[in-house]
Amino acid sequence: MPLVTPKDMFARAYLERYAVGAFNVNNMEIIQGIMEAGAEEKAPIILQVSAGARKYAGQTYIVKLIEAALQESDLPVVLHLDHGPDFDLCKACIDGGFTSVMIDGSHLPYGENIALTRQVVEYARPRGVWVEAELGRIQGVEEDVAAEVSIYTDPDQAVDFVRRTGCDSLAIAIGTSHGAYKFKGDAKLDFPRLETITNKLPGFPLVLHGASSVPQEFVDMANAYGGKVGGARGVPEDLLRKAAGYGVCKINIDTDIRLALTASIRKFFVEHPEEFDPRSYLRPARAAVKEMVRRKIRDVLGCSGKA
């Protein structure tokens, strides 16, 4: 099945009150694990590539790996650029076959964010490519994206931003955080703010970034086998499921994939110190990614059987 845009999958997600998982990919094993999970759960999938992943693996390699995965799948799959920092990178991804791009101007003054987002929309729309934008600022660190404090999305400003930019979906800040160390105290999301934004933008798909839940079994496994991932805490899965009941149609998941992969590899090397064949330790790592993604699809996103 060829790549699709998020348009139809988000329309159904909004109507039926679930979210589609946007899973960050960096290599073959991660792509395979996600696609196998999607196939078993019969779920729509968004494979997203950060600027850092693109730099690490190369755009052509990642696109070709995803094209290979699609030859063995009948799932609806979106290829999405995560946190595009500028117009040039968004253009390169659009020209390179991506069906969706995010332009992240959230660090810019409001007027500059509007102008940059509008520039990307005007290039993407004639080419049939979806554009996600961001308004507000999400605390934490994810590769080259960093913010020391959160700036929650203003509902009235969100309406103005969508109207003036023409973006297709909007990432909002309501209390999530990038990275593995999201909360020091109790995790809280601003659901009244989310409800207000949903009501002011009826039918419009919203996005949650920084939404990994940092499963403690992977944190504990990594630490038990030599890791030092102390104090890692994510967004509780019940809060993410609740958010999907509003206008949130896309939930980003990256840290959880990294934890599942790395914890599995650490465990393997401690238990099999004589091994050095990459296939030996990447096979269980791929399986760990698959099972983690399956659980997200089924229990958190609610999109099993929605392909």
Has residue 307 been placed in a domain? no
Instruction: Render pLDDT for 129-141 as a digit per residue (tens, 0 to 9).
Output: 999 999 997 754 4
Active site residue 82: yes
> Phi, psi (5° rounding) for residue 102?
-110, 125
To the question of pTM greater than 0.85 for the whole model, the response is yes
Q: Report the alpha-carbon distance of residue 169 to residue 127 in Å, rounded.
A: 17
The answer to whether the beta carbons of residues 41 and 132 sit under 8 Å apart is: no
Q: What is the pLDDT along the chain (307 residues), one digit of tens a residue?
A: 799 999 999 999 999 999 999 999 999 999 999 999 999 999 999 999 999 999 999 999 999 999 999 998 999 999 999 999 999 999 999 999 999 999 999 999 999 999 999 999 999 999 999 999 999 977 544 455 444 456 899 999 999 999 999 999 999 999 876 544 444 556 789 999 999 999 999 999 999 998 888 888 999 999 999 999 877 678 889 999 999 999 999 999 999 999 999 999 999 999 999 999 999 999 999 999 999 999 999 999 999 999 9
Q: Report the alpha-carbon distance of residue 147 to residue 138 in Å, rounded.
A: 7
Has residue 128 been placed in a domain? yes
Has residue 291 been placed in a domain? yes
Has residue 306 been placed in a domain? no
Has residue 1 been placed in a domain? no
Has residue 121 been placed in a domain? yes
Instruction: Render pLDDT for 153-169 as a digit per residue (tens, 0 to 9).
Output: 999 999 999 999 999 99
Q: Report the alpha-carbon distance of residue 189 to residue 176 in Å, rounded.
A: 7
Distance of CA 83 to CAs 11, 64, 101, 148, Å?
Answer: 22, 21, 8, 17
Q: Report the alpha-carbon distance of residue 133 to residue 207 in Å, rounded.
A: 9
Residue 80, both tokens? 């999405």
Active site residue: 8, 74, 82, 95, which one?
82
Specify the pLDDT at position 214.
83
Domain that holds residue 88: 7-301
CATH of the domain at 233: 3.20.20.70
Q: Report the alpha-carbon distance of residue 221 to residue 202 in Å, rounded.
A: 43
- The H or E element containing residue 114 is helix 110-124
Specify the pLDDT at position 142.
46
Specify the pLDDT at position 97.
97
Has residue 188 been placed in a domain? yes
Specify the pLDDT at position 178.
55
- In the chain, DSSP assigns E strands to 20-24, 45-50, 77-84, 100-103, 130-135, 139-142, 145-147, 169-172, 177-178, 206-208, 248-253
Has residue 275 been placed in a domain? yes
Q: How many structural domains comprise the chain?
A: 1
Q: Report the alpha-carbon distance of residue 161 to residue 9 in Å, rounded.
A: 23
